[in-house]
């Protein structure tokens, strides 16, 4: 597992383990530093006509320099709402921050007013939104949006400076016809291009931490590789911590150092990437990884996790995965399992890992 391999030769014979080695070392080094982002028992609910949607229902995690944290989970599990909450961008109403805290660089974001938030958004926390075109202003060219954003966050930059930085940012995200892109309006670019422009804008503000919600979904594998490399390089060169929200285990595998698995508004498992991908412990994580399609099978042969996620308006009392879990037992339906620490930095929200009952071998009564 990564933690064990981490100190091994970053150069030489084990060169092909470089990525893993770096990830491991990063994690080791990072554990000393203070977190740049700390989310503590965050609860963001929506008050809809039909009832209360507990979209995020007690989520905690920390992100330090050098971390690339992947948040994975099925659609509707609360990943995007978690990200939006960090920037206090959830529409209220119908949303409401029901509990918990978000600290960015020690500042309590959820208690800040509109002006203070301006400084947090973009400058401190860069965000790439899931819907690439929707996050761009349709009535301005890409160039003027980039220049405007750069100057808003860095008032000393003059127009020429800003334009140069804008061009560099576009170059970095893989465009070669820079002038063309600068003069284009969002509707003149393809979906994949808009997604890259979003990333260029986020990076041009030089944030302290970057949150990317599905940053490569609209991209072909070549551009994906380019973007993932760029994110990895920014992370290493600038000590820029990154949260990537994704449903693609290829992305997780390629760049993440840690993974948090969300289901029904809660983190179910968290730990180092190799540990989780190779040996998932939570039954949900295991099922999720199992459902990654083998490229040679047909749609008919897909093993989607049977059953449906619980109705977010009527979440069950016990474990939220109980209705679909193969190892469900009596206790699961009554008692919500806490996050059990099963190894260094590895946490699992499942009764099977209750230390008072012995790891993974809880009597399934």
Partner 1 sequence: MSGNLIEVRGLKKSFQVTRGAILRRVVGVTTAVDNVDLDIKEGEILGCVGGSGSGKSTLGRLILRLIEADEGRINFAGRELTGLSFKQMCPLRREMQIVFQDPLHSLNPRRTVAENVERPLLNFGVPRAEARGRMAELLTMVGLDPTQSHKYPHEYSGGQCQRIAIARALALRPRFLFLDEPVSSLDVSIQAQILKLLLDLQQRLKLTFLFVSHDLKIVRQIAHRTVVMYRGRLLELGDSDAVYRSPMHPFTKNFLGTVLHVRKGGRWELAAQRAEDLEDLNRQSATHAAPQAGCVYAGACAERFLPCASERPPLFRATDDRWVACHLYRPPQAAQ
Ligand X SMILES: Nc1ncnc2c1ncn2[C@@H]1O[C@H](COP(=O)(O)OP(=O)(O)OP(=O)(O)O)[C@@H](O)[C@H]1O
Binding residues (CB under 6 A) for ligand SF4: these are 283, 319, 321-322, 325, 327-328, 332, 337, 350-352
How is the beta sheet containing 51-63 ordered, strand by strand? Answer: 51-63, 37-48, 95-104, 107-108
Nearest residue to Mg ion, scored by beta-carbon proximity: 80
92 binds partner 1 (CB under 8 A): no
C-beta separation of 88 from 117 below 8 A: yes
**Pick 81 or 166: Cβ nearer ligand ADP:** 81
Q: What sign for the dihedral angle of Cα 172, 82, 286, 301?
A: negative
Residue listed under structure tokens 């284009």: 184
The one of ligand SF4, ligand X, partner 1, none whose footprint includes residue 19, by CB under 5 to 8 A per kind, is partner 1
**Which 54-83 residues touch Mg ion, going by CB under 5 A?**
80
**Pick 103 or 175: Cβ nearer partner 1:** 175
Q: How far is the CB of 265 from ligand SF4 (least distance, A)?
A: 14
81 binds ligand ADP (CB under 6 A): yes
Residue 103 pairs with which residues in a beta bridge?
Answer: 38, 108
Q: How far is the CB of 212 from ligand ADP (least distance, A)?
A: 13
16 binds ligand X (CB under 6 A): no
**Both tokens of residue 345?**
């930095």
Residue listed under structure tokens 């009597």: 363
**Which 129-188 residues touch partner 1, going by CB under 8 A?**
130-131, 133-134, 174, 176-177, 179-180, 183-184, 188
The one of ligand X, ligand SF4, ligand ADP, none whose footprint includes residue 77, by CB under 5 to 8 A per kind, is ligand ADP
CA angle 313, 317, 319 (to 5 degrees): 105
Of the candidates 117, 109, 137, 235, the one whose C-alpha atom is nearest the C-alpha of residue 194 is 137
How is the beta sheet containing 125-128 ordered, strand by strand? Answer: 125-128, 209-213, 242-245, 68-72, 258-263, 266-272, 346-348, 340-343
**Both tokens of residue 38?**
């700390």
Classify residue 222 by burial, with Cβ atoms within 10 Å: 0-12, 13-18, 19+: exposed
48 binds ligand ADP (CB under 6 A): yes
304 binds partner 1 (CB under 8 A): yes
d(Cα 321, Cα 350) in Å, to the nearest integer?
A: 9
Q: How far is the CB of 364 from ligand SF4 (least distance, A)?
A: 8
The one of ligand SF4, Mg ion, ligand ADP, none whose footprint includes residue 101, by CB under 5 to 8 A per kind, is none
**Which 38-57 residues touch partner 1, going by CB under 8 A?**
48-50, 53
The one of ligand SF4, ligand X, ligand ADP, none whose footprint includes residue 189, by CB under 5 to 8 A per kind, is ligand X
**Pick 37 or 319: Cβ nearer ligand SF4:** 319
Of the candidates 251, 202, 198, the one whose C-alpha atom is nearest the C-alpha of residue 225 is 251
75 binds ligand ADP (CB under 6 A): yes
C-beta separation of 78 from 59 below 8 A: yes
d(Cα 5, Cα 158) in Å, to the nearest integer?
A: 48
189 binds ligand X (CB under 6 A): yes
Q: What sign for the dihedral angle of Cα 114, 116, 122, 127?
A: negative
Classify residue 40 by burial, with Cβ atoms within 10 Å: 0-12, 13-18, 19+: middle
356 binds ligand ADP (CB under 6 A): no
**Contact residues: Mg ion, CB under 5 A:** 80, 190-191
Residues lying near partner 1 in the complex (CB under 8 A) are found at 16, 18-19, 48-50, 53, 73-76, 130-131, 133-134, 174, 176-177, 179-180, 183-184, 188-193, 214, 217-226, 228-229, 232, 247-251, 253-254, 277-278, 288-296, 298-300, 302, 304-305, 309
Residues within the interface to ligand ADP (CB under 6 A): 46, 48, 53, 55, 73, 75-81, 91, 94-95, 312
The residue ranges that bind ligand X (CB under 6 A) are 187-193, 218
């Amino acid at each position: 597992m990564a933690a064990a391999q981490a100190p091994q030769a970053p150069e030489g014979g084990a060169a092909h383990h470089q990525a893993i080695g770096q990830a491991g070392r990063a994690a080791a080094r990072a554990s000393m530093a203070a977190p740049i982002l700390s989310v503590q028992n965050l609860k963001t609910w929506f008050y809809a006509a039909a009832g209360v949607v507990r979209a995020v229902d007690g989520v905690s995690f920390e992100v330090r320099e050098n971390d690339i944290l992947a948040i994975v989970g099925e659609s509707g599990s609360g990943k995007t709402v978690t990200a939006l909450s960090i920037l206090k961008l959830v529409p209220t109403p119908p949303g409401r921050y029901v509990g918990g805290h978000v600290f960015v660089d020690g500042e309590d974001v959820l208690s800040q007013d509109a002006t203070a938030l301006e400084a947090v958004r973009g400058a401190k926390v860069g965000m790439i939104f899931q819907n690439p075109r929707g996050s761009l202003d349709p009535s301005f060219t890409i160039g003027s949006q980039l220049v405007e954003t750069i100057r808003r966050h860095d008032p000393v930059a003059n127009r020429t400076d800003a334009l140069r930085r804008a061009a560099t940012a576009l170059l970095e995200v893989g465009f070669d016809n820079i002038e063309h892109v600068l003069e284009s309006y969002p509707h003149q670019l393809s979906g994949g291009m808009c997604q890259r422009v979003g990333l260029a804008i986020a990076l041009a503000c030089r944030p302290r931490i970057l949150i990317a919600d599905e940053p490569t979904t609209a991209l072909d594998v070549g551009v994906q590789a380019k973007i993932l490399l760029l994110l990895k390089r920014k992370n290493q060169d600038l000590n820029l911590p990154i949260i990537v929200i994704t449903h693609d285990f290829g992305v997780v595998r390629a760049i993440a150092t840690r993974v948090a698995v969300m289901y029904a508004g809660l983190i179910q498992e968290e730990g180092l990437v190799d540990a989780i991908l190779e040996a998932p412990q939570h039954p949900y994580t295991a099922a999720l990884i199992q459902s990654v399609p083998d490229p040679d099978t047909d749609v008919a042969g897909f093993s989607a996790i049977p059953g449906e996620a619980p109705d977010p308006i009527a979440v069950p009392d016990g474990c939220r995965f109980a209705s679909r879990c193969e190892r469900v037992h009596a206790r699961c339906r009554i008692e919500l399992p806490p996050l059990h620490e099963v190894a260094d930095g590895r946490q699992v929200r499942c009764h099977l890992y209750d230390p008072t009952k012995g790891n993974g071998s809880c009597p399934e009564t």
